[in-house]
Amino acid sequence: MDNKTFIDTLSQRINAGKEETSEMVESLCQVLTDASLEGDTVTFPGFGSFEPRKRLERIAVQPSNGKRMLIPPKITLTFKPSTLLKQKVRNHE
C-alpha cells in the first residue's frame, strides 16, 4: 500500500478530509522521528513498538576485491509487532 492509498483509506475510516488526514500522518511520522532521535521507544498498543538500537562498529570485507572496510556505528530503528497483531496475521491465512 502506498502513501496515497493509505491516506485515502484512513480518511474514509475516520470520516475526515484527505488534507487533514495527511497532516495527521505527517505529524505522527514527525513525532516518531523525534522520539527515535532521543532514544525513546514508541509503542502502539495492539500494533507494536518502534525501538532505536545502536549497531556497533564492525569490519566488513568487500567481496569484489577482498578489501576490509571499517563500518562506523549507527542507530537503526527496529519494529517489534505486538502479540495481538501477530495472532491476527496468523489467523488471517
pLDDT in tens, 33-61: 999 889 899 999 999 999 999 999 999 99
63-89 in b/e burial notation, b at 16+ Cβ within 10 A?
A: eeeeeeeeeeeeeeeeeeeeeeeeeee
Pairing label, strands 42-44, 58-61: unpaired
Q: What is the pTM of this model?
A: 0.71
- The angle subtended at Cα 51 by Cα 80 and Cα 87, nearest 5°, is 15
93 pLDDT above the threshold of 80:
no
80 pLDDT above the threshold of 70:
yes
Give the fold, CATH level 3, of 3-92.
Answer: HU Protein; Chain A (4.10.520)
Averaged pLDDT of the chain: 91
